[in-house]
Chain A
Amino acid sequence: EVQLVESGGGLVQPGGSLRLSCAASGFTFSRYWMHWVRQAPGKGLVWVSRINSDGSSTNYADSVKGRFTISRDNAKNTLYLQMNSLRAEDTAVYYCARGYSELPGIYWGQGTLVTVSS
């Protein structure tokens, strides 16, 4: 059974940092692109970032470029999102998703909540 389990969310002050993790199981993690997608409370889905199967290629939304870094450890079947210089508008549930072609595909995690507030 494919599973994606996010962790690392929590309350952080503006300007602070947080690292999210997404533990993958039930599939060959190293073969797939992976995505991060976020959703602010009561708002729609917003794509954040993606990384290719071996970690050599990444893309970011303009809103997080230069502040967030996506990475992966294929030996540990884990996806990461390092978030620095956090702002109130980064408050959201963050989902990881396995990629299909260019897009998030069929498998999504349950999400982890990040709250940026003083």
Chain B
Amino acid sequence: QSVLTQPPSVSAAPGQKVTISCSGSSSNIGNNDVSWYQQLPGTAPKLLIYDNNKRPSGIPDRFSGSKSGTSATLGITGLQTGDEADYYCGTWDSSLPNVVFGGGTKLTVL
């Protein structure tokens, strides 16, 4: 199982808001920055959020990130069918030392 814990799936209706949680520990999220990645079916992962809450150029502000203690959260507002994808959190784990990913969360837009 993954070092970082994410819910396996979340769902919401178009236009609604959803949050995806990522839980870790002091050796990873607690002391390191978190990134979030979106993987659309059959494609390579895409960086959505870096440094906990920053968006790369071209990523709409419907996507947001936050971190508190040993947990991080990805928020998506104004859901669109095109947002259906797998979402992964990732960070550095200082005790391993390794990059660690969450197990991934499948977003369904109903």
Contacts and interface: CB of A to CB of B under 8 A. Distances in A.
Q: Is the interface of A mostly helix, strand, loop or mixed?
A: strand
Contacts, number: 69
Size category of the binding interface on chain A: 20 to 34
Interface string A51-69: 0000000010110000000
Nearest to B105: A44
Contacts of A108: 44-46
Interface string A100-116: 11111110111100000
B50 A105 contact: yes
Interface of A: 35, 37, 44-47, 50, 59, 61-62, 95, 97, 100-106, 108-111
19 contacts: A35-B99, A37-B45, A44-B2, A44-B104, A45-B45, A45-B104, A47-B99, A47-B100, A61-B98, A95-B45, A100-B47, A100-B50, A102-B92, A102-B99, A103-B33, A103-B92, A104-B47, A105-B47, A108-B44
